[in-house]
Amino acid sequence: MSNEIEPGLDAGDAAVYHERCRPQFHFTARRNALNAPNGLVYYQGEYHMFFQHNPMGNSWGNMTWGHAVSTDLVTWRQLDNAICPDNLGTIYSGSAVVDHTNTAGFQTGSDPVIVAMYTAAGGSSKESEGQPFTQCLAYSNDRGRTLTKYSGNPVLPHVVGENRDPKVMWYAPGGFWVMALFLDLDSFALFTSPNMKHWKRIQTITLPGSSECPDFFPLPVQSSPDDERWVFMAASGHYLVGRFDGTEFAVTAGAFQIDHGSNFYAGQTFSDIPAADGRRIQIAWMAGGVYPGMPFNQQMSFPCELTLRCTPSGLRLFRLPVKEIASLVETEIEWHDLIVVPGENPLAHIQADLLDISVEITCEQQSIFGFRIDGAEIRYSALDRTLSCLSKAFKRESEDTNMTLRILADRTSIEIFVDHGRTVLSFCVTPSDAQPTLEFFAEDAPVNVAALEVRILRSIWQNT
């Protein structure tokens, strides 16, 4: 897909998407602020990413659904804003699905309709003063290019507090829709509906220390594909694992944490990924980044595949970058059976700021090693099994002697995937003005590196 500068930008804006503090393979709005991903849905060869967007400024406010599409999960093209504020409120988070059997009755042509469910945040604008938070529908009969608000909105009246962020999915065994909704404090609810217009509450779920932006989806246990479990996740990344029969979500494990860094929030997964693909793909908001002097604010995480795997501690979500990242590789450098002694840096000759790094290391008891990427240090001590980066330190869960790290480094972010994605740490960074540097280091004793790969990536904003 070509990502040429799009219509509507001023003449002289050729530098847009290439600024020093603009991430080059993570999505950002071309202008102004974004936050949580919304309405992630696959439809007729395109991945749709709607998102919370302020089209009027670089700070939070005027919540509108922005819209971008991709054919490959890597290169994105921003389209016109999709859902704008009205007298019911500004447009908070929600989800989108393909209504394959036209249960809502919105389809006008031969192709199925995309239906989005979102929160109308009453009282968040002058036009909506006195209105509560309610849940509404919009639909598209033109491949998501325009969304029409349902004339009967809201479809779910106010329940409690600032109830918001509906996540809708089709429950095939029962032939009905299920919605997860944030209620208030640490409470969430599940609802069911035959047509997305009339909803019945079936369960309340409590997830201590969490709020907002629920996600609820089935996932097979990787080693036992016939053993399907359900995952309930909140914006914080806390998640529960259980079983769902259409009437009750029975929790069997959790709560656990999907990301231990400083900048993961409001992760959502795509609906309607084709069965032939079968992946559960997630994008999150990398909240809290600082982008000095930029015409945009905030970024998304790189899309990741989620898998549910058995570990000695029980079932856990694993998270790894989608395989499509391989299309961005320009140069690949490999080492095998490498011994790195203190004071050496096998990566000293590499100067790049778009990187996908993989390493497998035999962690002897005295091993201390890590990476320094443009001043940010990732450090692992085998003695206490602690991985540290920036302001966070995390004790490794796996007891394996061998350790794997996968690191995505963009200009404004570092995402670290430990032990094949069992532990993930996501961080925002602000790039230095100096030439980027890259270092692999060992402290106190040599480190045995079974394999090390450094892949230098290209920008997704280059014309292709």
Tens-digit pLDDT string for the chain (464 aa): 333 334 333 334 558 899 999 999 999 999 999 999 999 999 999 999 999 999 999 999 899 999 999 999 999 999 999 999 999 999 999 999 999 999 999 999 999 999 999 999 999 999 999 999 999 999 999 999 999 999 999 999 999 999 999 999 999 999 999 999 999 999 999 999 999 999 999 999 999 999 999 999 999 999 888 999 999 999 999 999 999 999 999 999 989 999 999 999 999 999 999 999 999 999 999 999 999 999 999 999 999 999 999 999 999 999 999 999 999 999 999 999 999 999 999 999 999 999 999 999 988 778 899 999 988 999 999 888 999 999 899 999 888 888 999 999 999 999 999 999 999 999 999 988 777 889 999 998 999 999 999 999 999 997 53
| Pair 260, 424: CB distance under 8 Å | yes
- The rounded distance, in Å, linking the Cα atoms of 418 and 395 is 11
Q: Which of 84, 22, 92, 33 is nearest to 59 (CA)?
A: 33
- The rounded distance, in Å, linking the Cα atoms of 112 and 110 is 7
| Pair 407, 418: CB distance under 8 Å | no
| Pair 104, 139: CB distance under 8 Å | yes
The tokens describing 156, both together, are: 């779910």
Place of tokens 């400083």: 262
Q: Pairing mode, if any, of strands 296-297 and 32-43?
A: parallel
- The rounded distance, in Å, linking the Cα atoms of 417 and 267 is 16
Q: Residue 282, CB half-sphere, CA atoms under 13 Å: how many?
A: 28
| Pair 335, 454: CB distance under 8 Å | no
- The rounded distance, in Å, linking the Cα atoms of 102 and 177 is 12
DSSP character for 2? -
Reduced to 3 states, what is the DSSP secondary structure of residue 112? coil
Q: Give the chain's domains with CATH numbers.
A: 32-321 (2.115.10.20), 329-457 (2.60.120.560)
pLDDT of the residue at 295: 96
Q: Residue 233, CB half-sphere, CA atoms under 13 Å: how many?
A: 25
| Pair 425, 416: CB distance under 8 Å | yes
Q: Which residues pair with 156 in a beta bridge?
A: 135
- The rounded distance, in Å, linking the Cα atoms of 388 and 407 is 13
pLDDT of the residue at 15: 80
> How far is C-alpha 397 from the chain's CA centre?
23
Q: What is the pTM of this model?
A: 0.95
Fill in the amino acid letter for 432.
S
- The rounded distance, in Å, linking the Cα atoms of 283 and 292 is 24
Q: Which of 167, 118, 170, 115 is nearest to 141 (CA)?
A: 115
Q: Which helix (H) or strand (E) holds 164?
A: strand 164-171
106: left (phi over 0), alpha (psi -120 to 50) or beta: alpha
Q: Work out the number of other CB atoms within 10 angstroms of the CB of residue 123.
A: 14
pLDDT of the residue at 398: 83
Q: Which of 74, 49, 129, 20 is nearest to 458 (CA)?
A: 74
